[in-house]
Chains A and B, each alone.
Chain A
Amino acid sequence: MSDSVQPGEESSGVIKKFMFVNRKAPYGTIYALEGLEVVLISAAFDQDVSLAFVDDGVYQLVKGQQTKGIEAKNFSPAYRALEGYDIEKLYVEREALERRGLAEEDLLVDIQVLSSGELAELMASQDVVISF
């Protein structure tokens, strides 16, 4: 008998809680798009993934982005597709929205609005936190 790892065996390993923290506006820098790419990659590893949007990161989720005029790829529809990758834990900081004159209705995904305190608690409960 072989001791080698059988196909599919890796996926039965320990599941860790990963949180991706998005703090940058889209388009002005590459952080938001790169962060999204990493989130999509993470979906392949069957981990417990959640996304937090704080500071200017909340702008990534604003409805009605039309990027034709700046000749950049509009990647905002991809946030709506995350559900299809079993990434369903999306959180936004209420204070960050309010400071920017935004409300939950202005966002293009179903998302849980948390206070800073609630988000802090959730962040502290993660095994791995990755920031973009």
Chain B
Amino acid sequence: MLHIVNKSPYERNALEACLRLARPGSALLLIEDGVYAATRGSTAEAGLREAMARLKVYALRPDLEARGVAARVIDGIELVDYGGFVDLACGQPNCQSWL
């Protein structure tokens, strides 16, 4: 399963719900305002780091760059472009967008 989160962790609980319900071994892709969760030094960092032990976490590079936070990404999060987004979606049996 590919989980896609596009909401800021400070504005919505989409990421929180995703991390609670995603099974180990799943992939998580952060896009749009969801990429703020991938940045260092925030209160969301601890929860995400914990999840990285059981999920493979990706973030969409163009969304990080647009928001000026591409240099602040937590180590271990893999950055992908739109082509990588497609590859992730195609490489998983199914996906879920946490709106």
Binding site for B on A (CB under 8 A): 24-29, 55-56, 59, 62-70, 72, 74, 76, 99-102
Contact = CB atoms under 8 A, between A and B. Distances in A.
B33 A28 contact: yes
Interface of B: 6-8, 10-11, 32-33, 36, 39-43, 45, 61-63, 65-72, 81
Given A27-B32, A28-B6, A28-B33, A66 B68 contact: yes
Contacts of A55: 10-11
A111 to B, nearest CB: 15
Given A27-B33, A62-B69, A101-B42, 8 more contacts: A25-B8, A25-B36, A28-B33, A56-B8, A63-B68, A65-B65, A101-B39, A101-B41
A70 B36 contact: no
B10 A99 contact: yes
Given A55-B11, A56-B33, A70-B62, A101 B45 contact: yes
Contact of A100 (B7, B10, B65): B10
Main secondary structure of the interface of A (DSSP, over half): loop
B42 A100 contact: yes
Nearest to A55: B10
Contacts of B72: 101
Contacts of A100: 10, 36, 39, 41-43
Contacts of A24: 11
A99 B66 contact: no
